Structure 1
Amino acid sequence: MIRTLTDAQRRDWLRLARTENVGPVTFAQLIGRFGEPALALAALPDLARRGGRMSGLRIASEAEAEREFAAGAALGARLIAACEPDFPRALAALDPPPPLIWTRGNPALLDRTCVAVVGARVASAGGQRFARGLAADLGRTGHVVVSGMARGIDGAAHEGALPTGTAAVLGGGIDDVYPPEHRDLYDRIAAEGCVVSESEPGRAAVARDFPRRNRIIAGLSRAVVVVEAELRSGSLITARLAAEQGREVLAVPGSPLDPRARGTNDLIRQGAALCEGVDDVLRALEGLRGFEAPEPPAFQPAPEPEPDDKLRKRVAELLSPTPVSRDELVRATGAPAPAVFAALVELALAGRAELLPGGMISQA
């Protein structure tokens, strides 16, 4: 249900998103169950206790939320909740979407047709030249270029698209400029494009933040182009997430003698479209001409399911470090799906389960 939040609802939405053990999947389940963030917040202690938590759950306070609002306002940043009408539609259609994003600059760019251009941090001069030129060509054809503002390919892509529109998705807070030498680039993107972050202002990025950042890069984009990437590159994670989200994946071929070409060549081997220039991207997008991001899921409260202790125990026993789908857990328990999902939320709040995008669950 698309709606504009009141100040109190926005504060509670932020508090719920910043509460311990509440990731995007748990957040979506809680809003779907209770409808209002205030009702979900009130239920959290009991839900965590039912899941087996012995100590108190750390729930973000009203004061913490107000401090985050103030920090964002001081930067000229804007917080947009996933239910609001100006949340990027392609991002809202993810299952689940990030509960909220901070933006600096012009968030209207995010609802234009976006193409991600990503690749190696330690990139070749030729790779950076290609990324810069491709981004400029995409901009001239009316597309917004999305990337992660890292060294190498990301930075070159942003530079090429600055005159026409580019968005940088950060792993840390909206003010986390990394690498430091990209301060001028960051300032120009904030002034002429858009900077996006799921994290609170002032937060420095750590390793676990980058897969979430990569998911947003892919989620904003109709196509992802990987220019250079080694076989264990984060850019390949972005490409995989894009494929899972139904986006087009393209890769620039390279010499088999260059380790930075192994990842892109492997993507082509697995079925990614070959990219030698903007025409290849436009052809891929032509195939998605009829693509429209679906309406975001309705946040409608459902009748509260009541998993019993026996079901919670059975669900917990079925979990392992290897992710399994929610559907598999429903089949294995033989219980109604809403009750299994409710038990999983309780276990997640207790720190005993991890709810992953794509309907997968693992032992925490």
Structure 2
Amino acid sequence: MTPPLDPAERLARVRLLRSPNVGPVTYYHLLRRFGSALAALPALPDLARRGGGARGYVLADAARIDAEFEAAARSHAQHVFHDEAEYPLALLAVDTPPPVLTVRGNLALFDQPGVAMVGARNASAGAVRLARDFAAGLASRGFVVVSGLARGIDAAAHTGALHGMAGDGGTIAVIAGGIDVVYPPEHAALQDRIAAQGLLVAEMPPGTEPQARHFPSRNRIIAGLAAGTVVVEAAIKSGSLITARLAAEYGREVMAVPGSPLDARSHGCNHLIREGAILVQSADDIAELVDTFEGTARSTFRDGALSEYLAGDADSAGVVDRIAGLVGVAPVAIDELIRQSGATPGAVADALLDLELAGRLERHAGGRVSLIPPSSA
């Protein structure tokens, strides 16, 4: 069993993650390289300087991190780190899982088989009823229904699961803002009820108002917590299909409810089924697929598959300029940088870390990177 984290290391980890230009990939790389956040923090300014940062690097304010922990405590929430026993194993199995989650409610729900249920915010009355009934049926069978607390299908899924929950069943809401922020405002009572009877999960710091860029990150958590994702109703260009793509990339089941071709809100689901998602029409269909899931998805939907690069530990001081010269404003695969630079994977990874800390590098899906134009940096 992993020993409990020292309180100082807990604070240092959040400070590391909240410091400029430190995302999950960089965070994990720094922990591997230095062994702890306490050791990594003092090294950040020098790493950023080596990457060509134009200005002095300033760590996240320690007082702000103290305030974050205090705000979580006031909301009856807590931080859970990736290497703690409370962290959900299903999410830990995905590429670059969130380093820390803020959670409020019943942590035991992380240990139960999960089904993600997502769909349109402007859902039809029939789809809302279907989602509510599906969720109630799944929760009564001991499954945990995971969704994003948005209007429409998400709210129906949470509500149905709360009504139908029995035994170990229940619901998890993954929100795009801070654990203490209600969005949308009309879901205040539902959010409080989930925190009391289910589990509320946030990646953003307390007090963070949700912004458009936060929702894709939330979607990856929803997909990662579940053995399968069900799309009840969705247009072709929607966040629900992003969640389905992520579930496919994680090797989880992708399911969809068919709909009328005359309704644009069904086009996304019909597209998923045509591309290999499994057609489901009842809670029994979903339960059978998830209950027998053993790590290999039977759905063949593989749209927009991603690949993550596993960083090494070698020093990058001698290759930063070379890598910067190879990377342009158009995204390029990290594997291609390794081939063209002739450097080791670890040295390239460290060089990219230096460039990212300097605010010069942007990471993209599919293990690709690009330089940020000087006018935007």
What's the TM-score, normalizing by structure 1? 0.93
Instruction: Determine if the alignment matches structure 1 residue 313 to structure 2 residue 318.
Output: no
Following superposition, the deviation at residue 3 of structure 1 comes to 4.2
Please give the secondary structure, in 2, of the residue aligned with 1:351. coil
My pick for the range that moved more, 346-355 or 153-162, is 346-355
Per-residue CA shift, 1:248-294, capped at 9, x if unaligned?
11111100000100111111111111111122223322552357xxx
Check the 8 A contact 1:25/1:355 in 2, yes or no. Answer: no
Specify the alignment match of 1:295 in structure 2: none
Specify the alignment match of 2:56 in structure 1: 56
Please give the secondary structure, in 2, of the residue aligned with 1:14. helix
Equivalent-residue separation in structure 2 for 1:302 and 1:59 (angstroms): 24
Check the 8 A contact 1:169/1:196 in 2, yes or no. Answer: yes
Instruction: Determine if the alignment matches structure 1 residue 185 to structure 2 residue 190.
Output: yes
Following superposition, the deviation at residue 323 of structure 1 comes to 3.5
Per-residue CA shift, 1:308-356, capped at 9, x if unaligned?
1xx2223223334444332222112111110000001011111111234
Specify the alignment match of 2:42 in structure 1: 42
My pick for the range that moved more, 279-288 or 100-109, is 279-288
Equivalent-residue separation in structure 2 for 1:131 and 1:303 (angstroms): 46
Specify the alignment match of 1:146 in structure 2: 146
Specify the alignment match of 2:300 in structure 1: none
Distance 1:3 1:270, change over 3 A: farther
Specify the alignment match of 1:196 in structure 2: 201
Specify the alignment match of 1:28 in structure 2: 28
Equivalent-residue separation in structure 2 for 1:304 and 1:95 (angstroms): 21
Partner AA of 2:203 in structure 1: E
Instruction: Determine if the alignment matches structure 1 residue 172 to structure 2 residue 159.
Output: no
Following superposition, the deviation at residue 99 of structure 1 comes to 1.0
What are the ranges of 5 or more consecutive residues in structure 1 without an aligned counterpart? 292-300
RMSD (Å), alpha carbons? 1.9
RCO higher in structure (CA 8 A, sep ≥6) = 1
Query: Structure 1 stretches (4+) deviating beyond 6 angstroms?
Result: none
Partner AA of 2:49 in structure 1: R
Specify the alignment match of 2:19 in structure 1: 19
Distance 1:287 1:319, change over 3 A: farther
Partner AA of 1:205 in structure 2: P
Equivalent-residue separation in structure 2 for 1:266 and 1:194 (angstroms): 32
Specify the alignment match of 1:84 in structure 2: 84
After TM superposition, list the pairs within 5 Å mapping 1:208-247 onto structure 2: 208-247=213-252
Equivalent-residue separation in structure 2 for 1:287 and 1:192 (angstroms): 27
Check the 8 A contact 2:32/2:313 in 1, yes or no. Answer: no
What are the ranges of 5 or more consecutive residues in structure 2 without an aligned counterpart? 297-310, 373-377
- The alignment of Structure 1 onto Structure 2 pairs a total of residues equal to 354
Q: Work out the percentage of aligned pairs sharing the same amino acid.
A: 53
